[in-house]
Amino acid sequence: PAREDWTAERIAAADRAHVIHSWSVQGNVHARPVAGGSGSWFWDHDGRRYLDFQSQLVNLNLGHQHPGLIAAIKEQADRLCYIGPGFAEQSRAELAELMAELTPGDLGMTFFTTGGAAANENAVRLARHVTGRPKIVARYRSYHGATAGAISLTGDPRRWAAEPGTPGVVRMFDPYTYRCPAGHPDPCPVCTGGPHLEEILQYEGPATVAAVVLETVTGTNGLIYPPDGYLASIREVCDRHGILLILDEVMAGFGRTGAWFACDHWDVAPDILTTAKGLNSGYVPLGAMTVGGRVADWLQDHMFWGGLTYSGHPLACATGVASVRIMREENLVENARERGEQLGAGLAELAARHPSLGDHRGRGLFHGIELVRDRDTREPLVPFNAKGEANRPMAELISAALERGLYLSSFSSVLRLTPPLVVTADEIDLALSVLDEVLGIADTHYAA
């Protein structure tokens, strides 16, 4: 059929019949046909507009249809769409040079991938080769991707379906101060970082551990920010035992938290940094593993055992170069910081009026609100990993927001608030007013 024959109904029908959707029982999928987008908004075929307070999968940092990114794709397409990873090519070289400039510490060499999972796969394999050690410490509240190794690093319940998975992953608790697994004594060994890691290493044998892998700020699993000092404490323990620190900033990197990289907030640099998503807003799939110091030195006279047909894809890298330029020209890291302060102040005001809002936390445009039935006991609105009927309260709140034109998503009882970095002050106000109504529903129906 011709393009004009693809009505919303026809798209929906073909999608239902033939597209396998991520993390879903296919018979339950009713995907909404989308016709277009611009900036912080997307719309359906009937012209209903939605404020994208997710940036899709927290990747669309420059928003929908940024003209500078579209121009970069067209320009590179006219020049050279593809050349094998064995050749040197301008967009690839330029983006790698930019990564060296922007990333913290002495990170300076990049392997480009097609997304976040592949970046983490390569980071872990390389850490094992560099150290000659087998094990990796990862955290429970984490998501590192869906490929075999990355899903084994992941703590989130999506790992369960891939188990037993790849061996050698040891898990530690998260510095989740609102629901600390250690009961949060003062000082708290888990939320301080180092003492908890040190105890795990005592039982695992530090000489068997290649790397600790952390999301600098936990994204998907509930917007968990480490307390000040946490990262430095983990870094110190790693250094003392010759263990590499891998920071996964696939979601938190590239301005999302109001700094170029989330670890910049605490002045801690990893040995290996993984990025994707905001690296080029995903207009063309791209991820990266960037290494420095000991790892970069090692690579000079050892084999790098990794490769991808699309490593350093010119269209993707050209979009990455353009994305960095646009972020600088449009001051988007500053905008993330300023709009984030506005959002944080608005959420504090909502928290004062809505008993269902148990906790709000965030920096830049990386905020979460945690909903509770009772603020004193902190009983969550829905149980951990609730599905189906058990998750109905959260699903209803997300639908109520969508009916009001605000696109949100959740993990357990946490609503994630992660708009594009181009979001305006008016759009933040609009989202806050919809959240006010949605929290009103939560107060009335579920909170004490």
Residues that bind ligand PLP (CB under 6 A): 57, 115-117, 120, 143-145, 215, 219-220, 248, 250-251, 276, 287
Q: Which one-letter DSSP state was computed for residue 404? A: T
- For the CA atoms of 313, 314, 317, 318, the dihedral, rounded to the nearest 10 degrees, stands at -160
Q: Please tell me the distance from the alpha carbon of residue 94 to that of residue 102, in angstroms, as a whole number.
A: 12
Long-range CB contacts for residues 176-181, cutoff 8 Å, separation at least 24: 176/141, 176/222, 176/224, 177/227, 178/358, 178/359, 178/361, 178/370, 178/378, 179/378
Cβ-closest position to ligand PLP: 116
Is the CB of 110 or the CB of 220 nearer to ligand PLP?
A: 220
Shortest Cβ 88–ligand PLP spacing (Å): 25
Is the CB of 372 or the CB of 415 nearer to ligand PLP?
A: 415
Shortest Cβ 59–ligand PLP spacing (Å): 8
Shortest Cβ 365–ligand PLP spacing (Å): 15
Neighbour-count burial of 444, counting CB atoms closer than 10 A to its CB (0-12 exposed, 13-18 middle, 19+ buried): exposed
What are the DSSP E strand ranges found in 249-395? Answer: 272-275, 287-291, 357-363, 366-374, 379-380
Shortest Cβ 277–ligand PLP spacing (Å): 7
Shortest Cβ 115–ligand PLP spacing (Å): 3
Question: Cα 448 to the chain's mean position, in Å?
Answer: 32
Is the CB of 102 or the CB of 251 nearer to ligand PLP?
A: 251
Neighbour-count burial of 285, counting CB atoms closer than 10 A to its CB (0-12 exposed, 13-18 middle, 19+ buried): middle
The token pair that represents 234 in the structure block:
């983990």
Shortest Cβ 441–ligand PLP spacing (Å): 28
The phi and psi torsions of 219 (rounded to 5 degrees) equal -95, -85
Is the CB of 272 or the CB of 447 nearer to ligand PLP?
A: 272
Task: Reply yes or no: is the peptide bond before residue 393 cis, omega within 30 of 0.
Answer: no
Shortest Cβ 156–ligand PLP spacing (Å): 10
Is the CB of 119 or the CB of 201 nearer to ligand PLP?
A: 119
Is the CB of 219 or the CB of 314 nearer to ligand PLP?
A: 219
Is the CB of 206 or the CB of 368 nearer to ligand PLP?
A: 368
